[in-house]
Amino acid sequence: MRRGRIFILLGILLIVVLAAVALILPRISPGKQPPGTSPENVPTPVPQTRSVVVLAQPVARGDEIDENHVTTIEVPLDLVPDGSFEKPEEVVDRRARLDLGAGQYLTKDLILNPDDILKPQGSDWALVIDPGKVAFSIPISRLAAVSYAPQAGDHVDVIVTLLMVDLDTDFQTLLPNQTAGVVSPGNVEFQAQAGAAGEVDSSTGLIKGETANLAAQVVGGGKSSLLGRTEIDPVLGQPFYVLPSETQRPRIVSQAILQNVTVLGVGTFEREEDAQAQNQAGTPLEPGAEPPQQPAGQAGAEAGQETASQPVTRPPDVITLIVSPQDAITLNFLLYSGAEMTLALRSAQPDNNEIVPTQPVTLQYLMDTYNIPMPAKLPYGVEPRIDELQAPELPNDTPLPTPVQ
**pLDDT tops 80 at residue 3:** no
Q: What is the pLDDT of residue 141?
A: 94
Q: Using alpha carbons, select from 174, 168, 164, 145 the residue that is nearest to residue 252.
A: 164
**pLDDT tops 60 at residue 153:** yes
Residue 268 confidence class, pLDDT cut points 50, 70, 90: very high
Cα dist from 132 to 152, 153, 174, 325, whole Å? 19, 18, 41, 8
| Same domain flag for 255 and 154 | yes
Residue 274 confidence class, pLDDT cut points 50, 70, 90: low
Using the 8-state DSSP alphabet, how is residue 93 labeled? T
Task: Name the residue with higher pLDDT: 175 or 9.
Answer: 175
Q: Are strands 206-209 and 199-200 parallel, antiparallel or unpaired?
A: antiparallel
CA distance 70 to 59: 10
Residue 388 lies in a domain: no
Kindly state the helix (H) or strand (E) to which residue 190 belongs, with its residue range.
strand 188-191
Residue 81 lies in a domain: yes
End-to-end CA distance of the chain: 125
Q: What percentage of residues in the chain have a pLDDT greater than 70? A: 66
Pick the last residue of a domain from 88, 117, 146: 117
Q: What is the pLDDT of residue 307?
A: 42
Task: Name the residue with higher pLDDT: 140 or 181.
Answer: 140
CATH number for 100: 3.90.1210.10
Note the pLDDT tens digit of each residue in 293-313. 544 444 444 444 444 456 668
| Same domain flag for 141 and 80 | no
In this prediction the pTM is: 0.57
Residue 221 lies in a domain: no
**pLDDT tops 60 at residue 140:** yes
Q: What is the mean pLDDT of residues 183-210?
A: 57
Note the pLDDT tens digit of each residue in 218-258. 556 666 678 888 899 999 999 988 888 888 999 999 999 99
| Same domain flag for 273 and 366 | yes
**3-class SS of residue 323:** strand
Residue 185 lies in a domain: no
Q: What is the pLDDT of residue 275?
A: 56
Q: What is the pLDDT of residue 4?
A: 60
**pLDDT tops 90 at residue 262:** yes
Q: What percentage of residues in the chain have a pLDDT greater than 90? A: 33
Residue 65 lies in a domain: yes
Rounded to the nearest 10°, the torsion over CA 367, 370, 374, 375 is -150
Q: What is the pLDDT of residue 158?
A: 97
**pLDDT tops 80 at residue 72:** yes
| Same domain flag for 83 and 149 | no
| Same domain flag for 160 and 53 | no
Q: Sort 150 into a burial class: Cβ within 10 Å, 0-12 / 13-18 / 19+.
A: buried
| Same domain flag for 337 and 365 | yes
CA distance 339 to 328: 15
Residue 367 lies in a domain: yes
Looking at the structure of the chain, the number of domains it has is 2
| Same domain flag for 145 and 54 | no
| Same domain flag for 274 and 330 | yes
Q: What is the pLDDT of residue 200?
A: 65
Residue 73 lies in a domain: yes
| Same domain flag for 271 and 322 | yes
**pLDDT tops 90 at residue 286:** no
Q: What is the mean pLDDT of residues 332-361?
A: 90
Cα atoms in the Cβ-side hemisphere of radius 13 Å centred on 234:
0
Note down the domain range covering 100. 49-117
Residue 78 lies in a domain: yes
Residue 341 confidence class, pLDDT cut points 50, 70, 90: very high
Q: What is the pLDDT of residue 287?
A: 47
Comparing 129-138, 166-175, 178-187, 393-402, the range with the smallest average pLDDT is: 178-187
Q: What is the pLDDT of residue 194?
A: 45
Residue 288 confidence class, pLDDT cut points 50, 70, 90: very low
Task: Name the residue with higher pLDDT: 285 or 81.
Answer: 81
